[in-house]
């Protein structure tokens, strides 16, 4: 059993498919040390030539990339690295075993180093060792193995483009590194594939074809499990499947509570592959379409014509249901491979989302033009991310007005109607002047970011991200205040984020007055099921009484009430 971090919910059983199969050393001991030394020197020379070629190709490239490759070459030419491996060979190890021993020691050192730069350099050494082992053994990345029918992808880390190549063929994903906010996690959520990250030693322990079970709820991986674990895990998968079948019966029913309150349940999406879920999940529309995924999975900026075609297909697939397009939300943990990275000490609070759009208006205009042309006379809804103050929203709205006028002059069909909204992800916007709430088209609370800034707890930091409860009375009071301000100005309000898809949190948000919740498609059934069984007025009283008692979180009181009903 290998513990990790849950990055995407769900449970999956299958067989290991190694993204980059590790080299298996079959001859640890050698009879002829002289011969092994010659083999090592020839392999290292081949490695150095390969690194030099990489440098030659990159001479006209990015300066930072060159610096990384220079450091890479320094490792390849390290006399200390070479000397340690030669000493191991003289003691009777084969060349492969000597390289593997040095790699293991480097990994051990890497696990103790706190400095990010040094960890990256030791990671370079790990990669060099892998290359050297492949040269010595002749074992390439292509092993001749065939992708199993039920593949669970196992990798040290993986980029979004590589993950999309596998697509929905994967039953689950297990990464040795990564974080809950990484590109891989974003794509895994979009594909609804169970994902566990930070699973220590998984690439060393797993072999292609191994039986594996992934628990995305608990963040646990069972590799080569025994019969008792298999039996218990299959029971869990069967229960999850049975629950989903139960939700099918209420799919086409509205989410109306016992006291007659209607709650709109919409879904999050980011890929064309998500859109079939719009009908099968019972979602009333798309509350958030993440437009950055099309930018993240490419090696160059997508052309406007490509974006027009994609957005048109999204609107066609939605069949007149409302789709909220969030403009490009890059920066922080979402860095485009073709944009120069910014050396920011705290990227989550740095140059990201609407800040990038306003500083680089050409990108924003291109995307707005693509959205308007894709709408082609149909209604269009656009939302700007990470708005921290009213002026940012006004500046972005002005860009929409200018783009609309340009499109009119060019003779393009204009949207039948145009809604322009803002995502409230910073506490500052909750305290904006009332005039902002009067003029904004709609507001969507971005729960994930709002919570991390409200509690000053990085959601990618395992030590603190689970420390603060979403049902904390302070956080619920902030939500209630936003609801009241929107009600005063009759501004449509929704809540988007992981908490919207958790049934307990969802009913509490509804009790505080939020009437539209946006979540991943698989969460709509469980949330609707619970909403249809509660009385929001009663639940609100439970929350108020808990707050009046001075409880830090209302969770215990809410759970007691739910058990009673």
Cross-sheet strand order for the sheet of 172-175: 2-3, 220-223, 211-215, 11-18, 151-155, 172-175, 195-197, 5-8
pTM: 0.71
Of 183, 222, 486, 508, the catalytic one is 183
For the chain, the first-to-last Cα distance in angstroms comes to 37
| pLDDT number for residue 489 | 96
Least confident residue range of 59-68, 180-189, 523-532? 59-68
| pLDDT number for residue 247 | 87
Kindly list the domain boundaries of the chain, sorted by start residue: 2-21+143-242, 33-137, 249-564
Residue 467 to residue 465: CA distance in whole angstroms:
6
| pLDDT number for residue 143 | 46
Give the pairing type, strands 2-3 and 220-223: antiparallel
| pLDDT number for residue 543 | 97
Pair 414, 456: CB distance under 8 Å = no
186 vs 504, higher pLDDT: 504
42 CB-near residues (< 8 Å, 6+ apart): none
Mean pLDDT calculated for residue range 403-411: 95
Annotate 65-88 with b (16+ C-beta within 10 A) or e (fewer).
eeeebeebbebbeeeebeeebbeb
496 catalytic? Reply is yes
Least confident residue range of 42-46, 296-300, 337-341, 470-474? 337-341
| pLDDT number for residue 180 | 67
Whether the predicted pLDDT of 190 surpasses 60: yes
Mean pLDDT calculated for residue range 329-350: 67
Phi, psi for residue 331 in degrees, rounded to 5: 100, 180
202 vs 459, higher pLDDT: 202
468 vs 236, higher pLDDT: 468
pLDDT > 70 in the chain, percent: 86
Least confident residue range of 23-27, 74-78, 158-162, 409-413? 158-162
- Structural Rg of the chain based on CA atoms: 27
Mean pLDDT calculated for residue range 290-306: 80
| pLDDT number for residue 72 | 63
pLDDT tens for each residue of 10-68: 889 999 988 876 666 777 888 888 999 999 889 888 888 877 776 676 566 555 556 65
Whether the predicted pLDDT of 458 surpasses 70: yes
Mean pLDDT calculated for residue range 333-356: 71
CATH class of 249-564: alpha beta
pLDDT tier at 198 (50, 70, 90 boundaries)? confident
183 catalytic? Reply is yes
Superfamily of domain 33-137: PtsI, HPr-binding domain (1.10.274.10)
Whether the predicted pLDDT of 381 surpasses 80: yes
Pair 182, 190: CB distance under 8 Å = no
pLDDT tier at 181 (50, 70, 90 boundaries)? low
The length of the chain in residues reads 565
Strongest mean pLDDT among 113-127, 144-158, 259-273: 259-273
Least confident residue range of 86-100, 229-243, 464-478? 229-243
With CA atoms as reference, report the closest residue to 202 among 167, 172, 177, 227. Answer: 177
2-21+143-242 CATH, one of 3.40.50.720, 3.40.1260.10, 3.40.50.300, 3.50.30.10: 3.50.30.10
| pLDDT number for residue 221 | 93
| pLDDT number for residue 192 | 78
190 vs 482, higher pLDDT: 482
336 vs 240, higher pLDDT: 240
Of 19, 211, 222, 496, the catalytic one is 496
Whether the predicted pLDDT of 298 surpasses 80: no
Which residues partner with 474 through β-bridges? none
| Domain 2-21+143-242 matches domain 249-564 at the CATH topology level | no
Least confident residue range of 123-137, 248-262, 492-506, 507-521? 123-137
Cα-Cα-Cα-Cα torsion 237, 240, 245, 251, nearest 10 degrees, comes to -140
| pLDDT number for residue 292 | 84
pLDDT tens for each residue of 199-256: 888 888 888 889 999 988 888 999 998 888 888 888 878 877 777 778 888 989 999 9
Residue 449 to residue 47: CA distance in whole angstroms:
44
298 vs 19, higher pLDDT: 19
Residue 194 to residue 190: CA distance in whole angstroms:
11
């Amino acid at each position: 059993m290998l513990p990790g971090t849950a990055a995407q919910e769900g449970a999956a059983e299958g067989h290991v498919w190694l993204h980059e199969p590790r080299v298996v050393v079959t001859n640890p001991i050698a009879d002829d040390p002289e011969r092994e030394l010659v083999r090592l020197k020839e392999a290292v020379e081949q490695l150095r030539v390969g690194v030099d070629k990489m440098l030659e190709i990159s001479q006209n490239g990015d300066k930072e990339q060159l610096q990384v490759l220079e450091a890479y070459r320094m490792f390849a030419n390290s006399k200390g690295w070479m000397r340690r491996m030669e000493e191991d060979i003289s003691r009777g190890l084969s060349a492969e075993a000597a390289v593997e021993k040095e790699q293991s020691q480097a990994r051990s050192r890497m696990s103790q180093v706190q400095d990010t730069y040094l960890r990256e350099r030791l990671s370079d050494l790990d990669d060099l060792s892998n290359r050297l082992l492949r040269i010595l053994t002749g074992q390439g990345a292509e092993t001749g193995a065939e992708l199993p029918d039920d593949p669970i992808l196992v990798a040290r880390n993986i980029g979004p483009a590589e993950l999309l190549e596998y697509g929905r063929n994967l039953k689950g994903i297990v990464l040795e590194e990564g974080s809950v906010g990484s590109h891989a996690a974003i794509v895994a959520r979009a594909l609804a594939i169970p994902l566990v990250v930070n699973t220590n030693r998984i690439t060393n322990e797993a072999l292609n074809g191994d039986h594996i079970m992934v628990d995305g709820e608990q963040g646990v991986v069972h590799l080569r499990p025994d019969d008792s674990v298999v039996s218990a895990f299959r029971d869990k998968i069967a229960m999850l499947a049975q629950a989903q079948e139960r939700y099918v019966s209420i799919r086409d029913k509205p989410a109306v509570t016992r006291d007659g309150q209607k709650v709109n349940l919409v879904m999050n999406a980011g890929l064309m592959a998500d859109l079939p879920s719009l009908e099968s999940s019972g979602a009333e529309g798309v509350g958030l379409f993440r437009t950055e995924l099309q930018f993240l999975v490419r090696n160059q900026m997508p052309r406007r014509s490509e974006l027009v075609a994609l957005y048109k297909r999204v609107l066609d697939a939605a069949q007149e249901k409302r789709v909220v397009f969030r403009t490009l939300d890059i920066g922080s943990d979402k860095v485009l491979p073709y944009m120069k990275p910014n050396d920011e000490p705290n990227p989550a609070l740095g140059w990201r989302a609407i800040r990038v759009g306003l500083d680089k208006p050409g990108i924003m205009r291109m995307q707005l033009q693509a959205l308007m042309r894709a709408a082609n006379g149909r209604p269009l809804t656009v939302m700007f991310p990470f708005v921290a103050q009213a002026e940012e929203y006004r500046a972005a709205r002005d860009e929409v007005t200018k783009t609309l006028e340009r499109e009119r002059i060019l003779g393009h069909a204009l949207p039948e109607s145009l809604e322009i909204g803002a995502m409230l992800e910073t506490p500052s916007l909750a305290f904006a002047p009332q005039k902002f709430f009067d003029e904004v088209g709609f507001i969507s609370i971005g729960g994930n970011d709002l919570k991390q800034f409200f509690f000053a707890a990085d959601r990618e930091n395992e030590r603190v991200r689970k420390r603060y409860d979403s049902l904390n009375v302070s956080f619920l009071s902030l939500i209630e205040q936003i609801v009241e301000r929107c009600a005063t100005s009759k501004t449509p309000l929704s809540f988007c984020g992981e908490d919207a898809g958790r049934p307990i949190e969802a009913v509490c948000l509804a009790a505080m007055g939020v009437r539209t919740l946006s979540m991943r498609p698989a969460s709509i059934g469980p949330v609707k099921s619970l909403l249809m069984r509660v009385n929001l007025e009663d639940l609100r009283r439970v929350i108020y009484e808990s707050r009046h008692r001075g409880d830090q979180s209302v969770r215990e009181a809410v759970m007691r009430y739910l058990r009673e009903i």
